[in-house]
Amino acid sequence: LLQAKSFVVHTYAAAAIERIFMIRDQSDPMQISRAPFIYGTTELNPILETAVVNLFAIVEQHELGVTNEYVAKAIMRVLSKAEPQTIVMAAPTILKKVHAVLQAVCDNPVNPRFIHYLFESLAVLIRSSCKTKPELAQDFESSLMPAFQTVLEKEISELTPYVFQILAMLLELRPGGASESYLNLFQPLLHPVIWSNRGNVPALVRLVEAFLHRAAAETIGNDSRKLEGLLGVFKELLRFKSSAELSIRLLIGIVEFLPPDVYSGYLSTILQLIFQRLQSLRSKSFAQVFTFFISVLIGKHGCKPVEDAINSISQGLFFQILEQVIVANISGIKRTTDRKACVVALTRVITESQALQSEAGAQTWANVFVAILNVIAVKAVSDDAESPEEKLEMLEEGGYSSSYSKLVYAQTGVRDSFKEVANPTEFFVTTLAKASAATPGHYQRLIEHALQGKPNYAAAFKSYCAEHRANIA
């Protein structure tokens, strides 16, 4: 039926194939959304080559092929259900076909859904292939870069956000860091014009993050002057409500992957700009992203530089930020890795800030301590709680945008800023135990004050110490 000349027949055939591979076991009506799929690689393997060839033939040979979203979705679904080892064998052939379709779409980018499924198919192809053979990322880069450069040079706004997402994905997966082709892209990425297309912004932020992660030394290194272009982008994004949170994501990449000496001279100014935006936006989500940023900054580089930078804006402001922003918003941070960062950072705050341990700071110390216990006690949302299929369904319900839609299959995993900390609870109590050993009785008094009238918190803290053999002297 896929070979039928009739548009209606081959479209319905493609849609049927796509839907078949989404049928779930319905034996438990209460768990249908998480039930296993009935058909998978076992059923697909014998027909994979034929299905892919015939689906691409529709796109290549029929007048409406490059706008037929049902066929593009079927290609995506078939590739996502195939075994990675099988995909690797067929990758060169499939890539040529995707490349040819991409060139046709460049001339006629009229259907946002078709474009989205085409790039999801490319993302699946890359992810499955590189999972088995990471070195294939270089082959994908070589094959796709000319077409991507055409998209960027022609400024095809319907395609540029997808190109940036795929470039970020390849850079994240590429073994051995950034190639010369990638490094040549970095400075043009900081040009204000490219950021003026608001649809590009989320994908550009991810791409810049990937550069900082994989090629910080080659792109910025120890030269603070090179950082100024990136900070210019940060300031521009911070101005707009729609991109304010994305501006903080840029900062997170900077403080996580660059040496403190590179950005320390700008830190007070950066923080002052953020505090002004916190007041004007009054947004919980922005405050939560800021809390995560401060957590990465303190967790990586210690409390004192941050405390000094904040107090240089206004004496005593550090206490206010702790109480009114961080402690007030930390419970809204849901992801496991983000909450771990908060525990690491606040543990460093209560063990490193001398002002916080003074009589004047005792109540703030107590509030931060209890906030840590709350983060530990409340179960976090799993970083991969939703499957790609579920994420795609939510995206379909919301509708695809011609400006920006996130590629589900282009996600390479959740970045853990503190991989070295396996257990945040253990980090919390053992760090306190080490600090208390140097000043016996001091932390015990602070903890007793914090837990006064809070028997449940006291019992929880006692159990954490016992579990991890941490003794507060």
Confidence of residue 33 (pLDDT cuts 50, 70, 90): low
Mean pLDDT of 49-72: 86
Q: Among the listed ranges 34-48, 285-299, 306-320, 437-451, which one has the minimum average pLDDT value?
A: 34-48
User: Bigger pLDDT: 114 or 395?
Assistant: 114
Confidence of residue 294 (pLDDT cuts 50, 70, 90): very high
Distances (CA, A) of 206 to 165, 248, 252: 7, 12, 11
pLDDT at position 398 is 58
40-49, 190-199, 332-341, 379-388: range with highest mean pLDDT: 332-341
Q: Among the listed ranges 180-184, 368-372, 420-424, which one has the minimum average pLDDT value?
A: 180-184
pLDDT at position 75 is 93
pLDDT for 433 beyond 70:
yes
pLDDT for 385 beyond 60:
no
pLDDT for 165 beyond 90:
yes
pLDDT at position 132 is 87
User: Bigger pLDDT: 102 or 35?
Assistant: 102
pLDDT for 207 beyond 70:
yes
Which pLDDT tens digit goes with each residue over 270-283? 999 999 999 999 89
pLDDT for 44 beyond 90:
no
Q: Among the listed ranges 30-44, 108-122, 348-362, 371-385, which one has the minimum average pLDDT value?
A: 30-44
User: Bigger pLDDT: 227 or 24?
Assistant: 227
d(CA 401, CA 395): 10
pLDDT for 29 beyond 60:
yes
pLDDT for 100 beyond 60:
yes
The average confidence (pLDDT) of the chain is 89
Mean pLDDT of 334-356: 96
Which pLDDT tens digit goes with each residue over 13-23? 888 888 888 77
